[in-house]
A and B are shown apart, each in its own frame.
Chain A
Amino acid sequence: MTNRVTTTQETKATTDAVRLLPRDRLADLFHALTARGYQVIGPRVDQGAIIYDQLTSVEELPRGWTDEQGPGYYRLKRREDDDAFGYVVGPHSWKRYLFPPLVTLARIERDGEDWHIESQPESPVKRAFLGVRACELAAIAVQDRVFLSQAYVDPIYQARRESVCLIAANCTQAAATCFCTSMDTGPRCRSGFDLAITEIAAGYIVEVGSELGASLAADLPLRPASPEDQADGEAARARAVAQIERTLDTHDIRALLMNNLDHPQWDDVGQRCLSCTNCTMVCPTCFCCSVTEVGDLTEQHIERQRQWDSCFHPDFSYINGGQVRGQVRSRYRQWLTHKLATWIDQFDVSGCVGCGRCITWCPVGIDLTEEVAAIRGNPS
């Protein structure tokens, strides 16, 4: 499958002076980051998957591992080579570090008849994300709009986001669940990174995306990429494009969904969906949370906590008098129409970047691209 957008970028990339970090010098990148005070968060094998975690060295990268994915299905597999970035997006996303699953917003103490409320900003930790994919850069850009671009800025997200360094990795393969080409978010990393790498047999082709990236590159033992290296890089990136099978037709998608709010497909998916919340938890753009006050037995010491929550949790739409969305059908419809339609009204961008996580990590394998196709195929 050829893709117009990607072809133009290939041209741009090859006209820049292309440089290569030799394969055995990846640790230099790691050290350049830690020398600048960054905690490195990157991929590693854990619990039968490739997750994102704090790394202490490049030895922890998932060298020689890859993954196989399908609806409700994920398995680790051995690679024939020892590539470190030869896998596709897994169960975690970077949102865990920018929009953490649990934060204490305030501590509240009873003080005689009064309450004493203390709310301290987090002390910022500099984090470098190693191996960010194109769809994930797009997801971070979506959450930037959600948390930073409107009247209410989230100070927790803002502080964490401002201290992050993004080392992107171009995909050299795709999973059966990926559809970034439909959402125009990948698989090539275009912008929004400090450094981007493409892994080939000789090493890592490096692109600089910011001043911070340029200063990191200056510390690395880079050499000019040979014409063969460059051809390898292009072939690796083209392989990812060619492997993408899944599509989502986004043409007029807002109108399609909003004009079909009573489509029988919602009843159908309402029978299959478990309302378990997994799709929203793994989605790198979903941002719902709830705030709860948790007290001790004497109710003298209370913590105000913010936790990830989900539109699939029946009580999430509980307001005085009852639940607004009291059925699985209406909760799935809320999720999908928000993600693909009303998100555009709200943030001027789609809420879906085509990473495919919600398809893989749905325990019953519900696939949003199929749900949309069913509505499009038979609109009411």
Chain B
Amino acid sequence: MMARVRPKLAVFKFASCDGCQLTLLDAEDHLLEVAGQVDICYFLEATSRVVDGPYDLALVEGSITTAHDAARIREVRRNARFLITLGACATAGGIQSLRNWGNLPEFLQAVYARPEYIQTLATSTAIAAHVSVDFELRGCPINKAQLLDVLRAFLADRRPNVPKHSVCLDCKRHGTVCIMVAQGVPCMGPITQTGCGALCPSYDRGCYGCYGPCEQSQGEAWGRSLVRSGQPVPTVLHQLRSFNAGAEDWRQAGDSLDNCASTAGPARTEEPRS
């Protein structure tokens, strides 16, 4: 180990809440092991020590919301052998991507005393919309164990062990009774990628979709089924348009429901299935 040159790691932040970087810091017990195996060259949240690139591994948190950041992420990509994005902001645009459906000048007027000082894009987009990404680690925030596995995988030159199946599979493995079926709670689990181990349903709360769409997510079929069983369209839209609103399948599903609802008038409430 000593003879080997330690890979150079850098952590970059774009538009985000820092929660994903905190997950890395929160991995305290394991962080020392990580630190022993990589050379942390750029991680402003943790240390002011800065070593110039190029880097072997760049971890990127946050979405692209300004022209300056759009240029900066290209620079990061040029300087990184592997680029891994962390969290809902970096992989789907984050909660701030709700602006993609809104009116930017109106927001600026409402929020800022001097909107003319604000330079921002009209959209919030995922890193992969700007540069090529080697691996996307989902979650709002990311899961510590998955993050550590991704780092181990990088160090061991293997594929990360990050499953892409639905949250439902974990509910069933744990023996959690489905709250959608047994209580009529609208739950995003069937279209959401696992990562939390099906936490919310075990507390009688529907899945909020923190980890974004599972592989080949069927957002539209899920949404239509909820509307058929009596959920109002706006409720379903609020679920689809949250931390991962900008994720492709959920964006399309929401827009399609929205279009149908606006052409068909208010959603009809049908009798619940029985």
Chain A residues close to B by CB (< 8 Å): 46-49, 51, 68, 70-76, 91-92, 96, 101-102, 271-278, 281-282, 292, 294-295, 297-299, 307-310, 313-315, 326-328, 360-361, 363-365
Q: Assess the B152–A294 pair: CB atoms within 8 A.
A: no
Minimum CB–CB distance for B194 against chain A, Å: 10
| Contact A297 B165, CB 8 Å, known A48-B183, A281-B172 | no
Q: Is the CB of B216 within 8 A of A310?
A: no
- A292-B161, A313-B166, A314-B215 known; 12 other A-B pairs, CB under 8 Å? A49-B177, A72-B180, A91-B178, A274-B190, A274-B218, A275-B166, A277-B168, A282-B172, A297-B151, A328-B218, A364-B222, A365-B273
Contact of B164 among A281, A282, A294, A314 (CB under 8 A): A314
Flag if B161 contacts A294 (CB, 8 Å). yes
26 chain-A/chain-B pairs, Cβ below 8 angstroms: A47-B204, A48-B177, A49-B177, A68-B274, A75-B182, A276-B189, A277-B165, A277-B168, A277-B169, A278-B190, A282-B172, A294-B161, A297-B33, A297-B151, A298-B33, A310-B169, A313-B166, A313-B169, A314-B165, A314-B216, A315-B163, A328-B216, A363-B178, A363-B180, A364-B222, A364-B225
Residues of chain A within 8 A of B156, CB atoms compared: 299
Can you list, as one digit per residue, whether each of B168-206 has a CB less than 8 Å from chain A (1) or not (0)? 110011111111111100010111000000000000100
Q: From B178, which residue of chain A is reached at the shortest CB distance?
A: A361
Number of B interface residues at 8 Å Cβ cutoff, please give it.
41
Query: How far apart are the CA atoms of A365 and B274 in the complex, in Å?
Result: 10
Residue from B172, B183, B221 within 8 A of A274 (CB atoms): B221
From the candidates A72, A101, A308, name the one contacting B273 in the complex (CB within 8 A).
A72
Which of A96, A310, A363 is B187 in contact with, Cβ under 8 Å?
A363
Question: What residues of chain A lie closer than 8 Å to B183, measured between beta carbons?
Answer: 48
B272 on interface, CB distance cutoff 8 Å = yes
Contacts of B161 in A (CB 8 A): 292, 294
Q: Enumerate the 6 nearest inter-chain pairs by beta-carbon distance, A residue then B residue, closest first.
A: A281-B172, A276-B190, A47-B177, A101-B173, A364-B225, A274-B190
Main secondary structure of the interface of B (DSSP, over half): helix
Q: Are A49 and B169 in contact (CB under 8 A)?
A: no
Contact between B169 and A364, CB atoms less than 8 A apart: no
Within B20-55, the residues touching A (CB, 8 Å) are 30, 33-34
Chain B contacts for A91, CB-based, 8 A: 177-178, 181-182
Residue among A72, A328, A360 with the most chain B CB within 10 A?
Answer: A72
A310 touches B165 (CB 8 A): yes
Provide the residues of chain B in CB contact with A49, threshold 8 Å.
177, 182
Task: Give Cα A309–Cα B169 distance, bound, in whole angstroms.
Answer: 8
CA distance A243 to B38 in the complex (A): 66
| A289–chain B nearest beta-carbon distance, Å | 10
The smallest beta-carbon distance between A278 and chain B, in angstroms, is 5
CB pair B176–A313 under 8 Å, yes or no, is no
- Say yes or no: A48 contacts B182, CB within 8 Å: yes
Residue of B33, B166, B175, B215 touching A96 (CB-CB under 8 A) = B175
Q: Smallest distance from the beta carbon of B105 to chain A beta carbons, Å? A: 39
User: Is B128 part of the binding interface, using a Cβ–Cβ cutoff of 8 Å?
Assistant: no
A240 to B38, CA, bound (A): 66
